[in-house]
Chains A and B, each alone.
Chain A
């Protein structure tokens, strides 16, 4: 392996890891803000306890999300210095905006929220968590706008004097259609993750409450409403994913035809090809692939909202035309990964949808379900949105290979870069060292993260959080006990 492969593994590992934690933060912050709002509006202490319970889980997750995010900010310069030089003019701006506009808000106001339960007036304290909720979504927008530039560069031109891409239109960069649809899709995915998280955790606790007579009141006042609310969020988010995914797909057929051809294992240009569900073959040799199960009409609809009369370019034909345009080289992504990541992303959506529907049915008209299979179903559903998020990003990112900046078919053709050209000139050994350390440290922290979340979920909402209203300490008292301390 050379430094390029190791650097790709490192960026992939650290990013996938970061994005296991991020969607839960993005989706859960608004849900917790909504729970706290429900408490303040209705005065119902059940929402207070839910806010505290999910707030704890949120903070456990937030810590590791922040920790792994710090690395990303510097990894471009460390491992992809040539890329950073080439696009820094454009790519750096949304990153700096993210820090200035989103990170400052979320970190500062989260601190106020954590420590401000008895220090701040109630509405100010509520505003803090809403600001956090908006800021985490704003940060998602800026970083996805940066990523979308790599997928579909707009607002930039190549300057032959400096040999760098230069920003010419910042508004175009932020209103990149790829960015807008990718952002909406990622946010829908985050809300699905958080909705499923709330619903599945509450459903599991609800079923458990049958074995504990002392928890029956909680089951009715807390677990059931939370399960229903989470399921509704998950269903709406699933609908959002469907629509945003469809729009995004239509853009990709135009902007990154190679990515979509690989996703379909479509070798040769065809009119009205069938949508493939299952294939066998050595997937990185397009011609050896045998399509086993196929559905007609789907693919033309995905591409152009029509059921027939659509011609789609195949991998081999695109390869030839790219060679003519950009010179010799292999312009095909890893077909196996793109094909299966695409299917995993879509297929994994079925589990949360089925679970949410089952949960809404089982809790109808005031019912409290006690079925063992339902609580197992909840546990099985929990990881699926996380896996689907990862699969989606793996598809998006590995589908643009070998490019790090994909040439825009209707933009400046010189704003393009392959990963080979973007990597730093390190020795493989140095990058192997950092990759191994990151993998080991992240692995260990991931185990602790999972163990902590599990420990806190199994414990359930705690007794000392059952205070209906946190008492507000008078401000002039000298040695007032803190409501929270690390």
Chain B
């Protein structure tokens, strides 16, 4: 396998890590306000219990995206330049919502005031819903292709290149998949009333998630798939059915393993359908941006391969250890009282 193939796989793996890990972060962020409301106990404590299932890890999960962006830049500069300058507005919305989410999560508990918390909850919700939908749209756009011209640039981008039934279905599919993945994760990571609420939510989400993911998977396979990606699609479908069965039986560990496989298979299907293109041209296949005409020099790829080979296992080990350290279930009862300051100073 050449270095260009290796780097295509590495970028795919980085996005896979991002979607598996941030997938449940987005899911937890999306259902946080909702679960607080259906909870029988104290609304606020339930929300905090939900949020704190991802408390120690969400920031590290987000770095997978930053590193994926850096890896695209270093290994396939043309890909990085073309995609991010073309999908300018979706990326702008993703960035703004991720900014809102970071500060909302970190600052939420700093001030003990209902209005303050409501604004933070809005930030967390926006920062979870919008990227969950828009990343699906963006990847569907990539697989579908863009009007790439001979200079590797996109000159005339039509709205229909970005927003069409296929890409919108992609957005709904990722959104529902992350919701389901997040609900299953939450059921695995929480205890007591929060857990039973999460199990109920996962059961509710079974059908819409399965239908949307299957529809998007089949469409992708039929329109863009290779012969070997049929196997990936089959794995996704089997894993999704297993997840549904496990979620219904309240076997969270198995359900989470299964949704992880579904997310991984979905990313594999998308990247597999793309390969060896980076951005297919809808104008003329001769203008396709591929791993061969879009990559860095062999020397850069070699240096980067060494770095990735040394550091990726280390990252996996200590991130895995972090999950092990915080493996215990979070109960609403284990949430300490708020230590935030009141909005105004008490004299």
Contacts and interface: CB of A to CB of B under 8 A. Distances in A.
Contacts of A484: 336
Interface string B324-335: 011010110111
Nearest to B108: A486
B71 A96 contact: yes
B34 to A, nearest CB: 18
Nearest to B99: A67
A459 interface: yes
Contact of B110 (A60, A115, A159): A60
Contacts of B311: 100-101, 104
Contact of B74 (A71, A78, A81, A95): A95
Given A452-B111, A485-B52, A424 B341 contact: no
Contact of A167 (B66, B76, B85, B299): B299
A217 interface: no
A375 B74 CA distance: 49
Given A67-B98, A92-B296, A459-B341, A60 B106 contact: yes
Given A60-B107, A64-B103, A441-B96, A77 B85 contact: yes
Interface string A110-149: 1110111001100000000000000000000000000000
Prevailing SS type, chain B contact patch: helix
Interface string B293-314: 0001101100110011001100
A294 interface: no
Interface in A76-117: 76-79, 81-82, 84-85, 87-93, 95-101, 103-105, 107-112, 114-116
B318 A66 contact: no
B318 A92 contact: no
A167 B325 contact: no
A67 B55 contact: no
Interface in B83-98: 83-85, 88-89, 91-92, 95-96, 98
Contacts of B98: 67, 70
B200 interface: no
A456 B308 CA distance: 41
A81 B155 CA distance: 13
Contact of A119 (B96, B99, B155, B325): B325
A424 B85 contact: yes
B341 A456 contact: yes
Contacts of A62: 106
Interface residues of B, number: 79
Interface stretch (B56-64, B167-175, B248-256): B56-64
Interface in A42-77: 59-60, 62-64, 66-71, 73-74, 76-77
A92 B60 contact: no
28 contacts: A60-B110, A67-B99, A74-B91, A78-B92, A81-B81, A84-B80, A85-B81, A89-B74, A92-B300, A93-B300, A93-B304, A98-B70, A100-B312, A103-B63, A104-B63, A104-B319, A107-B59, A108-B60, A116-B56, A119-B326, A166-B296, A430-B88, A459-B341, A479-B192, A479-B333, A481-B335, A482-B336, A483-B336
